[in-house]
Amino acid sequence: MRGPQILSRFLTEPGPADQYGQRWQYNSRSDRHSKVGSWGVAFDLLAQSGLLRSHAAQRKVVLGVNHEMRDFATGRKKDLDLVIARPDGPVPVGGPSLRTLAFHYGIQLTDDERRELDALPDIPVAAVGAVLVAMEAKACMTAHVKSLPRLYDELNSSHLCVHGASRQALAIGYVQVNNADEFFSSVKNSERMAAGLAPKVTRHRQPADTLRVIGKVAEIPRRSHREGNGFDAIGITVVDLRNDGSPVSLVTGPPAPPSGDNFHYDSMIVRMGNEYDTTFGRI
């Protein structure tokens, strides 16, 4: 699977300057981490699912970015980071696509990753009809314990909205957790640094903080059949990100979910590939 490595490499490079002229690898007021995380999930899911590749080659599916879904029963609305869906009308040729999003987002792929992407059928970004797969990516990079109620509520509302719109749609939750002992917060430091002051360092209690987040994510409902409530799969990627310009590393040992665990990234992709293949064979 490519997604976690792509994400950690991407986050090593600072993003665009904020209102104070500071460039951060992670800025809580930016969605670059969720966009690239969801892009990686789509890339890996396309490589995993033979049926999705067939649908892409036949132009039966499109991508929607920041797509608004509406719960049919309650009217609740939610913007999902990325969806795979049936097209809503003719699909234009030569427009944005999974491949061009990599360039648009500034994702640097290795030669092997580029070859694999080029060998896969592309998926265009176009007007969305019926949603088949909906992805929500959230990050917990600092203030781990304080952020738990909001993290839970935002993720929980996502699967409720997705399945309120369509019981058949597959809902994926993807959580990125920071395991660094120290963190330089953009919220606390952008204005200070612009004024020439030294940045404040936030210290984490690791691995306890990361484990608290993983434990909270494990409380989010998951479903194993169409009549249930919850995500169809949840994956967790743990990184070491100080947010000071130093390289971002991927944590593969404890406290990250081990290989074979339900929350391991690879398990999420394998499960989603199987669910897609068994659910959408007749579209």
Of 8, 9, 50, 17, give the one whose Cα is nearest residue 178.
8
The DSSP bridge partners found for residue 140 are: 177
Q: How many domains does the chain have?
A: 1
Q: How far is CA 25 from CA 9, 12, 202, 241, 272, in A?
A: 10, 6, 16, 8, 29
pLDDT in tens, the chain (283 residues): 999 999 999 999 999 999 999 999 999 999 999 999 999 999 999 999 999 999 999 999 999 998 888 888 788 888 999 999 999 998 888 899 999 999 999 999 999 999 999 999 999 999 999 999 999 999 999 999 999 999 999 999 999 999 998 889 999 999 999 999 999 999 999 999 999 999 999 999 999 999 999 999 999 999 988 778 899 999 999 999 999 999 999 999 999 999 999 999 999 999 999 999 999 998 8
Contact 213, 177 (CB under 8 A): yes
Tokens read off for 60: 């039966």
- The 3-state DSSP composition of the chain as helix, strand, coil percent (nearest 5) reads 40, 20, 40
d(CA 22, CA 199): 12
Domain of residue 18 covers 3-279
* pTM of the complete model: 0.95
Residues 226, 166 contacting (CB under 8 angstroms): no
Which amino acid is residue 116, in one-letter code? Answer: E
Those residues with Cβ within 8 angstroms of residue 97's Cβ, 6 or more apart along the chain or in another chain: 63, 122, 123, 124, 125
